Amino acid sequence: MSGLDDRKKAEEARYAHDEALKFKIEARRNKLLGQWAAGQMGISAASEIDAYAAAVIASDFEEAGDEDVFRKVRGDFDAKNVAMSDDDLRAKMRSLYVEAEEQVKATN
């Protein structure tokens, strides 16, 4: 029974590691997205960019998945009259996820 218990513990540890890694990647993506979106909206002061990026990161805790982050940025773009299609915004989110994944894995 010990071998089965060891495999179960190893699987649980791997799952926990994978979830922690996914969380770090998503948080980094959201930071990058917030910084990029701030630039799109004409925000140029470093403190305001950081504050906006933090707001985008915080928006991810509203519900599971990326829709809460998408709605945050989409709503802010609409309020500031930033012309960008939903498809283009989602594509940017995907490309920034890849970039964030590379950055996080490079630091681990």
**pLDDT at position 89 over 70:** yes
pLDDT for position 36: 98
| Top-confidence residue, 46 or 65 | 46
3-state helix, strand, coil in the chain (%, to 5): 80, 0, 20
Distance, CA of 99 to CA of 84 (rounded, Å): 21
Alpha carbon distances (Å) from 75 to 54, 59, 89, 102? 16, 12, 12, 28
Q: Candidates 3.40.50.300, 1.10.790.20, 3.30.460.80, 3.40.640.10; correct CATH number of 25-107?
A: 1.10.790.20
Q: What is the pTM of this model?
A: 0.87
pLDDT for position 103: 95
